[in-house]
Amino acid sequence: MAKTYAQIQKQIDTLKREADRLKRKEADGVIARIKEAVLAYGLTASDLGLGGASSVKRAAPVAKRARRKSKTKYSPTVKFRDTSGNTWVGRGPRPQWLRDALKAGKSLQDYAV
């Protein structure tokens, strides 16, 4: 006879409870062994790397994927500049200084380099 959905759910719940109970029991054993080792060797929290960020330097996380190097390097060339030294390469949104100047009646060509 095939099991019903409710029977399988009940079995899953029972297995989850049993797994949690076994996990707690195993963790208690691990904690007891760690405590014994700490006492036997006189270890401190900083020896174990638990003393905070200043006690142990952590390694930088490894990148998941290596970045591809582009065949050509992009070096932005300034295409627009004002008398105050503000610049824009012509890519992305226009900077606020240029938008303000255009609203004031200037043209884009007035700032072309």
Residue 54 has pLDDT above 60, yes or no: no
Residue 65 lies in a domain: no
The total of structural domains in the chain comes to: 2
Q: Does a structural domain hold residue 11?
A: yes
Q: What is the pTM of this model?
A: 0.38
Question: Considering the domain boundaries, does residue 56 fall inside one?
Answer: no
In which domain, by residue range, is 87 found?
A: 80-111
Q: Does 56 or 84 have the greater pLDDT score?
A: 84
DSSP 8-class letter at 112? B
Flag whether pLDDT at 55 surpasses 50: no
84 with 45, same domain: the answer is no
Residue 69 lies in a domain: no
Would residue 62 count as lying in a domain?
Answer: no
Average pLDDT over residues 27-49: 91
